[in-house]
Amino acid sequence: MKSICLVVLILSGSAWSRFGPHDPSTPSAGDGPDQTPFLTTRDPVKLDEEYEWLEQALDPEALVWAHNETQRTVDYIESLPPTELVMNQILDLIDGGPPPTWSITGRSTFSISDNRAFRVRATNENPKGLLESALRHSNGSLGEWQRLLDVDDISRTDGGDFVFRSGASINTEDASRYLVSLAAEMTSAVEVREIDMITGEIVPGGFNVGRGITFLAWLDMDHVLISTTADPNSPRTVTGYPAAWSIWERGTPLSEAKEIHRAADDAIAAFALSLGKSGDGYGLLMEATPSFGLKLRVLSPDGMTKAVEGVPERLVFRFDMVSTAKHLIVATSEETKIANLTVPEGSILAYDFTSCVAVEDDRVSAVWTPEPGDLSLYIADHGLAASRSQVHLTVTKYGVERRLVVERIGRGWQVVESIETPEGGLVLLESGDRFSNDLVVMDTGLVTAPVVSIIGEDSSRVTLHEQAEFFAGEDFVLQTLETTSKDGTVIEYILVSPRSFDSHNSTAGKRPVLLHGYGGFGRTLPTTYLDLHLAPWLEAGGSIAYAFIRGGGERGASWHEAAVGPVRRQNSFDDFIAVAEALISDGFTSPDNMGAYGVSNGGLLMGVMATQRPDLFGAIICDAPVLDMLRFPIMSGEGPAWLGEFGDPSDPEVAELLRRWSPFHNVREDVDYPAFLATVATGDSTTGPGHPRKMVARMRDAGIENAYLYEVDEGGHALLNSYLNPELMAHRTAFLMHHLMN
């Protein structure tokens, strides 16, 4: 079962998640292709500093301005012909059939540990989620689901706005306990509750932690490994995250927890995780460094810590590093040498944390090494899991995905099973059981409703959840296509379109399509089931395209690094532009019928599209974005962690490079912009509401009447949730349908 973990940032959700890899050198303009953008600003509409008053989320004047702009947006969208129909369709989908399971982390909402299964699900009455548990019987079947925590109820009684984030369980002969981490008002901060799984009650005097950034892992029933900022005296990193690890004993105040190690002064964060079977006493101290490194230490049952040696620092970042009963499992992000073996980027390594072998090289082994053509697309999220003695991973080769089961046999690892994923499908590895070799998987795809199952070691299946369809998947066809970017790089994209399209009919060249992208922080754009708010778009004949652009993790660390920094970032933008141009030149759509949308770093991408190539799109939706590239480090507490991804604007040379494509700095008065909608939550502590507020304010000052702000109260950085914010999601879809569909 996973230890307490921080929400996976939509902006950064994988290979580094929040903590983008740091490139200490500043690339010169000669390091990449011609970076001259399509449009650059001449004279600003107003001076930059005249908009800074909008940056503070709760500033009274800024709130009034945001409220008025949002009301203007709502009034406009509600006047559009599609809006009422779209709203009714979305409400009908919410009311009909079992809702999807979800978590704001985007991570597993189903897990198994020893003799129990766990799930988090939303209902119409409980949009924030219910945490439930069921006993697992020896024949593989499940007992009745028992409610452990009603997150909506605890939000009401405790006076907070909570959402389930993650949890971890522990069992002994006498007790069964569960640590649940609740996101506080959609910020990075959490509150922790210890639940008695027999009574379903919160344990008085247990491991309950007040608000702060907290990582917590079971060592045994009476001890946890913790790093936290909940104690006002606890040390913090430069980004405000925990900087030290402590062992906390049951029955003692948190302030008396024994510190066992402290991170370096320049560390990004200190994470506490469990290793092996909960209760065995092993823990993992994981320090994120500013040089794209991970420093790892193992805590042994004797209370001593030891640095993990023989494993490189350049590893794929995961908040929930996985382990078998005795091996820590990691993925490399560069070519490395273990013992006398050189392994390529993307290799899976195992470190025996239980071994007493003095020579570190003898503790490290290669679980799996990629061959030419092998891609582990989701290795930082749902593409890697571990059970008692097996490692599970998904690998794509020449467009065909396979799920591999690798087991330790003798002194080496062998692939004992290889299962091909059906065409157009996607397998997500939700969690493994360290007490058995059982695995929770989700079978899904862009047009395939998810089915979650427990796969036993004997290949038996027990279905945990079948999601109702939002639309008829068989009515759509998926195509994987290619185009060429400005510098000759081949860019893949997926196009989902109605089967009923006839290339010779009158709609050819004018088909409505939404282009989606991300392109940052090494995150692979997930091709999971399309959200219910897109069902009205699809049923009205709309298509959707996913662009796999540089900056993401689709082709490994080098694909990400090709768009890191203020110069190379333009590669990501050029890739997205190339896909948009291909959809037009191939006769599929036209600028009047093509829209684009992206979230967080994808919101930045949308801001760049609006300012560099407004001629390509009829509408753009920019969700929870970063848009002012000269002030991002000080506009959000998370900002300093992104310097390695974008560059440091406090350096004048870097600032000038960032200014070339910073959306906020490239708004002009004499440009015909597409309809532009920026969405954000006031309480978003990741990117903050200041970016979209300033962008829309500057656009409006430039006389751009079709620029709109939509700021909501709930959702934080995960505001795009059809159960928490159905009106917002319906309005987004209606906005797109009005502007792009004839």
**Within a domain: residue 31?**
no
> For residues 261 and 297, is the Cβ–Cβ distance under 8 A?
yes
Q: Is the pLDDT of residue 7 over 60?
A: no
Assess if residue 79 is contained within a domain: yes
Q: What residue numbers bound the domain in which 587 lies?
A: 38-96+471-740
349-372 pLDDT tens trace: 999 999 865 555 578 999 999 998
Angle (deg, nearest 10), helices 690-701 and 60-78: 70
Residue with tokens 């009909």: 96
Average pLDDT over residues 632-655: 91
Q: What is the pLDDT of residues 411-449, one digit of tens each?
A: 899 999 999 999 889 999 999 999 999 999 999 999 999
Domain count, the chain: 1
Q: Is residue 721 part of a domain?
A: yes
3-state class percentages of the chain: helix first, strand second, coil last, to nearest 5 = 20, 30, 45
Question: What confidence score (pLDDT) does residue 357 get?
Answer: 58
- pLDDT value of residue 31: 44
325 within domain boundaries:
no
Domain presence at residue 617? yes
- Residue 20 is assigned to a structural domain of this protein: no
Residue for token digits 């350049």? 314
Residue 682 confidence (pLDDT)? 93
Instruction: Say how far residue 268 (Cα) sits from the centre of its chain.
Output: 18
Q: pTM of the full predicted structure?
A: 0.88
CA 115 to chain CA mean position, Å: 29
CATH of the domain at 499: 3.40.50.1820
- Is 54 a domain residue? yes
Measured at the CA of 369, the angle between CA 368 and CA 370, to 5 degrees, comes to 125
d(CA 605, CA 86): 27
Would you say residue 37 has pLDDT above 50? no
Give the span between the Cα atoms of 564 and 520, in whole angstroms. 8
In angstroms, rounded to a whole number, what is the distance separating the alpha carbons of residues 20 and 292? 7
Q: Mean pLDDT, to the nearest integer, of 367-379?
A: 89
Predicted confidence (pLDDT) at residue 624 exceeds the cutoff of 80? yes
pLDDT in tens, 333-345: 889 998 888 999 9
Asked if 277 and 325 count as a contact pair (C-beta separation under 8 A), the reply is yes
Are 274 and 283 within 8 A, CB to CB?
yes
Q: How confident is the model at residue 8 (pLDDT cuts 50, 70, 90)?
A: very low
> Which pLDDT belongs to residue 305?
96
User: Do the domain assignments include residue 104?
Assistant: no
Reduced to 3 states, what is the DSSP secondary structure of residue 471? coil
pLDDT band at 507 (very low <50, low <70, confident <90, very high): low
- The Cα 38–Cα 120 span in angstroms is 46
pLDDT band at 161 (very low <50, low <70, confident <90, very high): confident
Backbone angles phi, psi at 635, to 5 degrees: -90, -10
Pick from 61, 42, 41: which is nearest to 51 by CA? Answer: 61
Q: pLDDT tens digit string along 127-152?
A: 778 889 999 998 888 999 999 999 98
Rounded CA-CA distance 570/649 in Å is 16
